[in-house]
Amino acid sequence: MLNKVKIYCVNSSCNGLIHTNQNKLTKGRWSLSTPLSVVNWIEKSEILDDLINHEDTLTLHPMNQGYEAEVIKIDSDNESFVLKVWNKRSKPDIRFQYHLLNVLFERELSVSKPIGWGIDQNSDKVLLTTFDGEPVLKVNNKKMIDFAYILSTLHQINIEDKGTIQLPKYDFVDYFFPELNKHPDIHNAVSSLVHLIHIKQERIIHGDFHLANILEENDRYNVIDWTNGQLGDPRYDFAWSFTLKRIYISERLAQVFRSSYLLNNDIPNEDLEVFESLACLRWILLSRSGGTPIGPNTMKRVKSLIGNNPFLQGVDIKDLDK
């Protein structure tokens, strides 16, 4: 017999509280077909065993959904958790994410504690972690300094101290510039830039360190979404994060982040110029396939970055006017 679970939808399209004894939402756009007890948990902690034993007391809240997965908040009497179900096109290595989070959590980095991972009845992989707040919505100088410290601390981890986890290493251009050959202008610019720099894939990187992937609760922060975690070049990881802050936050606060990060990470200016150019090119590439959020000032800021960068003068920006 399936457990009864109270399910609350916090999205306006779901029209409030929905009760069900089928472990799924019966209206609205959300769907919950993954009760904890029917997941084949490949690896788990004792916390998960306790949750399963008291599953009928849990309250579930569908959260804002990402491009890759369905996300559900699970409340027990004493604590909250997040269940992420990869039931869309993206099929990342969840076993690796689970082990990476374990390594980082044990080293007291700002990440959620992994509780378990497994495969549901639809053959979709799932990951359960602690709930550690909501994405950062407002920023100031202090927060930029805190975020720079978090990223800097990650980049300074000695990979020989990472335990038994095997960090993947990918071809830099193939991974961060998908379908590059379809865009000759960007392809030419990227090819020129990578010949000016030696890519050093020697450190753990996050791959997508932006505000939506930083949770805030009681002045504490935790970094989520380690889909792109890998052995990579921290100079690029920093440059991508810095570029996103210039585009989506403000030049002033982005520079606070930049200055704070560079206090503990000595990167030559010529290297920074190359990687910041590569980050901007990646944003343009992703924007052509609709993979970047567009706000009121987004295109204006991107055009400013391109116009002031001598490495990007051959890039076609006509589509940015659309």
Number of domains in the chain: 2
pLDDT in tens, 192-220: 999 999 999 999 999 999 999 999 999 89
Angle among Cα 311, 317, 322 to the nearest 5 degrees reads 160
Cβ atoms of 172 and 233 closer than 8 Å: yes
Residue 131 has pLDDT above 60, yes or no: yes
- State which of 109, 130, 151 marks the end of a domain: 130
Supply the DSSP symbol for 179: T
CA distance 215 to 224: 7
Residues 44 and 139 in one domain: no
Domain boundary among the residues 130, 156, 175 is at 130
Buried b (16+ CB within 10 A) or exposed e, 19-44: ebeebbbeebebebbbbbeebebeeb
Q: Is the pLDDT of residue 301 over 60?
A: yes
The answer to whether residues 175 and 209 belong to one domain is: yes
* Pairing label, strands 214-217, 230-232: unpaired
Question: One-letter amino acid identity for 44?
Answer: K
**Contact residues for 313 (Cβ-Cβ < 8 A; gap 6+):** 306
Residues 141 and 124 in one domain: no
Find the range with the poorest average confidence among 8-22, 24-38, 208-222, 296-310.
8-22
Which CATH number goes with the domain that contains 174? Answer: 3.90.1200.10
CATH of the domain at 24: 3.30.200.20
Q: Is the per-residue pLDDT at 163 higher than 80?
A: no
Examine the domain organization and report whether 154 and 278 are in the same domain: yes
Taking only the tens place, the pLDDT of each residue in 245-289 is: 999 999 999 999 999 999 999 999 999 999 999 999 999 999 998
Asked whether the beta carbons of 151 and 209 are under 8 A apart, the reply is yes
Check whether residue 32 and residue 162 sit in a common domain. no
Res 234: pLDDT: 98
pTM for this predicted structure: 0.87
Q: Give Cα 116 distance to the centre of its chain.
A: 19
Structural domain containing residue 202? 134-321
Q: Are residues 99 and 214 in the same domain?
A: no
Same structural domain for residues 22 and 160? Answer: no
Answer yes or no: do 161 and 230 share one domain.
yes
In degrees and rounded to multiples of 5, residue 289 shows phi and psi of -105, 15
The whole-angstrom separation of Cα 34 and Cα 119 is 9
Among 130, 147, 176, give the residue marking a domain's end.
130
Same domain, 212 and 311: yes
Kindly state whether residues 214 and 82 are assigned to the same domain: no
Say if residue 242 is in the same domain as residue 276.
yes
Do 181 and 59 lie in one domain? The reply is no
Q: How far lies 163's CA from each of 91, 110, 157, 205, in Å?
A: 25, 18, 12, 16
